[in-house]
Structure 1
Amino acid sequence: MERPTLDEVARLAGVSKATASKVLNHRRYVSEDTRRRVEEAIGRLGYVPTTGPRDAASLRAVNVVFDTLANVYSAQVLSGIVGAARAQDVEVLVDALDPAAGDAGGPLSASWIRRLATHGRAGVIVVTAELTAGQRAQMRAAGLSVVVIDPLNPLDDEVVSVGSTNFAGGLQATRHLLDLGHRRIAYAGGVSVSAPSRERLQGYLSALSDAGVAADPGLVLEQGFSFRAGREMAATLFARERPPTAIFAGSDASALGVLEAARRQGLRIPDDLSVVGFDDTYSAFTTAPPLTTVRQPIEDMGRVALRTLLQQARGERPDSHHIQLATQLVVRESTTAPRPE
């Protein structure tokens, strides 16, 4: 099927090709009615400008879309992206998903993708959000490069993703608790469709299996990588007939929620409950006690994503379609041996 042309857009809108081009390039001296008709024609035809590898002059701006900006993880990812962009003299435009907007012009909507293409963006970095097959196809059609950091859903080899060795991190966290003597270890993870959370869960299950410890389905909860989710999952675990002696939280944010739930329950950390997080964000060493956690190089993930996006935009093949940076267990004061039964 042939791509719609600017001539077809102009014809459908009832304007000249030159006027349609002015609207497309956001030039002045076009009436609002004319601009509206051209934009409606672009939407109806699914028109996107013909694009190939960007030249150096057009690699001036990238868009970054977060699922949320209200956590420390997002701030550290953005820090890495901005640092790498500054070194490349590239502007970073930041947005966050708005579920209420849907396809009404919000980030990752069809109209939003078309606008980016007309503005000559180098591409899009999507952080911890779902990127659907339809959105991927629209970005390809628009000639936009895309890199996903910690993707919510599994991606095919046509999309570059950047993350950490989540399975190894889950393995490290759980082995640490097993080595301390814990056997009733819970996993408080992200939503069940989250690819990073599922990989961390598989590391947890593998460590238990290697140690000959049967996994208890009642100790595996998957609700979200947030303070509230961590607090609620911990409260559920504490209500079990045999509560855990240790909790491996799938993120530092949820680990903080676990610590708050333990405080409300009157439990002392780590004497009554050991807690391990995942991320090693700034908040991990400011908790009381400081949090044992799995460090993933969050700022490096942002830097690698930015460099890889520009590499694609120049028409170069990425070094890998699924980039994983190494994790490392950081032992602090929130874990110790369990109390004797």
Structure 2
Amino acid sequence: MNSSKLRHLQIYEKIRSLIQNGSYRAGDMLPTEAQLGVTFGASRPTIAKALNRLGHEKLVRRRAGFGTQVLAPGRSAVTAGLLIPELHQTEIFEPICASITETASIAGMRIIRPPELNLRQERRMLTESLADQFIAAKVQGVFFTPVEFIPDQEAFNVETINRLTSAGIRVVLIDRDVFPWPRQTPHDLIGIDNIEAGYVMGRHLLDNGCGKLAFVSAPDPAMTVQLRRLGCREALIQNGYRANSLTSVDFIPDQPEKTAQQLLTKKVDGVICANDATAAPLLRALLDLGVDIPGALQVVGFDDVKYASLLSVPLTSYRQPCDDIGKVATETMINRIKHPEAPTRRVTLAGQLIPRNSSAGRLPS
């Protein structure tokens, strides 16, 4: 999904939120396209796309020479909320949510997306606040990404889901489960197969001639990251290496040079990073130390959403199918609301290895 497409959806969602929360009332005139263009820093065609989408949903009426008037918002057949506390912090969630919004609009589902998230607000408080809003709005469904890196996160996430389901709200999980693998909640879940993703990246480095691999992640990483590490280890085992041959190295975000030094000390020749957000600063630190990438050390990551191709040495990454995740999640939500008794649906989608310069294979000697 390209940036201009994302932009008109963002503008549409913002204006729709202002209508839904009463900032614009039935009968009010919206600012002109030119004024909205200045407000959002967007072109008039982009503004027009956003307003046309609002018109299709009967939220506004557009008339040439008259302007755009707000109509009384009718209740859609299906309404769902996005409970994604990491929406503006983890790069995969913006395109996933954009895909959910677009797919839902086509299907007649109305998505309530918080217009602004207070990124300074503690994740627990933010999640509780959003859950309260969705319960008060009487939505039929909520797309939920369980909260990580808070005390008692498992109990908190279970409590959040119980609050929603007690209010009659159906829950579809995005990206990860509430429980550590292999335990599962009785709720639909859409994401990638992280073990398979880790295996693909580990096998890629082995096929490229690497023989000593390291997996770099934050201390006590998320379960999705632990599963990627498990997949990397499996790639080694299936290629004749011992189970303990994968070196694990902690990454401290504000000290990437320390991680780089550890990798050099351990004399690894292939590095799998937990995600691209980890790989980018580590790659820069390695280059600052004069490391030849990929000649002496090959580096790969996961996600491939924003900046993997923009680094000084373009990063090999495992691309998450964000658009497909959003589409399947929306279809799953619609089906869950229509058929609450249906068996739990857990969909793991395959991503794609995107090879770039950071892991160019070695020539045979």
| In structure 2, distance between residues paired with 1:176 and 1:186 | 13
Q: CA deviation at 1:127?
A: 3.0
In the alignment, does 2:167 pair up with 1:142? yes
**RCO higher in structure (CA 8 A, sep ≥6):** 1
Answer yes or no: is the 8 Å Cα contact 1:151–1:194 preserved in 2.
Answer: no
Partner of 1:127: 145
Between 211-220 and 73-82, report the one with greater CA deviation.
Answer: 211-220
Paired residue type of 1:151: R
Q: Is the 8 A contact 1:197 1:250 kept in 2?
A: yes
2:230 pairs, out of 202, 217, 221, with: 202
Structure 2 distance, partners of 1:319, 1:97, is 36
Q: Residue 307 of structure 2 aligns to a residue in which SS?
A: helix
Structure 1 residue runs without a partner (length 5+):
1-25, 28-55
Q: Are the counterparts in 2 of residues 62 and 91 from structure 1 also a CA contact under 8 Å?
A: yes
**Corresponding residue number in structure 2 for 1:33:** none
Map of 1:65 onto structure 2: 84
Answer yes or no: is 1:278 the counterpart of 2:302: yes
Matched, 1:252 2:276: yes
Identity of aligned residues (%): 23
Query: Structure 1, residues 222-243: CA drift from partner, whole Å, max 9, x if none?
Result: 558xxx3793673353353x33
Report if the CA contact (8 A) 1:76-1:299 is conserved: yes
The answer for the alignment partner of 1:80 in structure 2 is: 99
**Which of 196, 202, 207 is residue 179 of structure 1 equivalent to?**
207
Amino acid at match of 2:101: V
DSSP-derived class of the 1:196 partner: helix
Kept in 2: contact 1:230–1:254 (CA 8 A) = no
> Is the Cα–Cα contact under 8 Å of residues 80 and 303 in structure 1 kept in the other structure?
yes
Three-state SS of the structure 2 residue aligned to 1:238 is: helix
Matches within 5 A, 1:46-57: 57=76
When normalised by structure 2's length, the TM-score is 0.67
> Is 2:256 aligned against 1:231?
yes
Q: Which residue of the partner structure matches residue 118 of structure 1?
A: 136
In 2, the alpha carbon distance for the partners of 1:306 and 1:123 equals: 10
Question: Per the alignment, do residues 317 and 268 of structure 1 end up closer, same or farther by CA in structure 2, a change over 3 Å counting?
Answer: farther
- In the other structure, the counterpart of 1:311 is 335
Distance 1:162 1:190, change over 3 A: farther
CA RMSD of the aligned region, Å?
Answer: 3.3
In the TM superposition, 1:91-102 aligns within 5 A as 91-94=111-114, 96=117, 100-101=121-122
Task: Quote how far apart the aligned CAs of 1:210 are.
Answer: 1.4
User: Which 4+ stretches in 1 moved above 6 angstroms?
Assistant: none
Residues 122, 309 of structure 1: 8 Å contact kept: no
Give yes or no for contact 1:149–1:163 (8 Å, CA) kept in 2: yes
| Compared CA separation, residues 321 and 221, structure 1 to 2 (3 A) | farther
TM-score by length of 1: 0.71
SS at match of 1:212: coil
1:96: how far off?
5.0
Cα deviation digits, residues 140-174 of structure 1 (max 9, x gap): 21111112212264263412211112111111111
Structure 2: which 5+ runs fail to align? 1-20, 23-74, 149-155
In 2: Cα distance, 1:119 partner to 1:297 partner: 31
Could you say which residue in structure 1 is the equivalent of 2:321? 297
